[in-house]
Chains A and B, each alone.
Chain A
């Protein structure tokens, strides 16, 4: 399919022609699970797979957005265009959110080569929103060379970024003893690169040395030894080194053939997840509307039948999938 192909839905055609307004509206439709966006998403999929997607994770306030701001400068000086997704948590009480990542970013409203989009997690756990991957694909299809995804930045490690990004950076700060403790296991599986930010403050050397040691001990199945870099978003130092470390991991993915296998694993997980969601949706309706449910409920209530047996019977009644 080419850009001018009449078979493409108009919105898809406009996105491939770099229409930012259409991109912005399509992202909203994806976030809102608007079914009308599906033809666009489907038509754009063959146009994806070109962008380098990098995750920027790490605890609250370590400087993820500030780093992205200086990474943007670096990438723009290399002539690369960049789409950024900044994810922040939604309030479990109101469902609302204050999306504050954009405030750290100088460029997006002045530079055509940069697009920044704030996303609320909308109740999804794991550090990103349920639709972040799909939004990242839209930025890819639009033609951005690099897509940066800033995770929520909870106390825990934002594991799900690995489903979206081919390289993930975990940002930490000097005096991170407690933080590393609280992040615990998993940290070294998620971080392809550690960035000790705020290296303008004392203690960065020690923190980097500690992480280096830990990274040396971590045995990863992919044979990659996480790189450790120091940077300061405020002093604008260490940014080229940070980007080089990211590219070194990308080169490792290529030279070992792991890019293809990792991609395949991600896509498999995605397909299974989408099918599971559809299945659950289809069946939960049928289950809760089934006439047998009332009878079983009576028996469970009077303790003649236990809930597990009741669930089995209900499934058998429906001729479970």
Chain B
């Protein structure tokens, strides 16, 4: 502690809300962010919005990435954003991945989702965006 301040890695929570059972994409993103020097808390499948927000707060993350394929995104994402807003302290930015129609993507961005990646997004793009939108450490 008396030591010089070292560079602090970005902490990211990666979770998968909803009921679909695959997390291959989420795991690939998690590994890519690790290889970009981030600390990725992998919370796994079938997380409720309440669980995601509580995990993000307990783990004090700078960024939340949510992956979803089940089509329930228009229910789950707004719920997560609402819970994050009602939490005290600085808000944590959220990005999303999955198959999300353009119209929904526009609405989600208006609600506050910082970035949305479709199945064609490159890992480089995701890493760069994650770095840009992550909450800076005071």
Contact = CB atoms under 8 A, between A and B. Distances in A.
Interface of A: 20-21, 24-25, 27-28, 30-35, 37-38, 41, 90-91, 93-100, 102-103, 108-110, 115-118, 120, 131, 134, 274, 277-278, 281
B34 A96 contact: yes
Q: Which of A95, A96, A134 has the most CB of B within 10 A?
A: A96
Given A32-B5, A120-B9, A102 B137 contact: no
Interface in B74-106: 87-89
Interface residues of B, number: 36
Nearest to B31: A98
Interface in B41-64: 41-44, 50-52, 54-55, 57-60
B39 A96 contact: yes
B35 A94 contact: yes
Contact of B40 (A98, A274, A281): A98
Minimum-distance CB pairs A-B, first 6: A109-B54, A96-B34, A103-B44, A109-B51, A24-B60, A32-B8
Given A99-B39, A102-B43, A108 B5 contact: no
A116 B6 contact: no
A28 B8 CA distance: 9
12 contacts: A21-B87, A25-B89, A31-B8, A33-B4, A37-B1, A91-B34, A97-B40, A98-B34, A103-B42, A109-B50, A109-B52, A120-B9
B58 A95 contact: no
A135 to B, nearest CB: 12
Contact of B1 (A28, A41, A102): A41
A35 B58 contact: no
B41 A21 contact: no
B41 A118 contact: yes
Contact of A96 (B3, B40, B52, B89): B40
Given A103-B42, A274-B2, A109 B36 contact: no
A24 B5 contact: no
B52 to A, nearest CB: 8
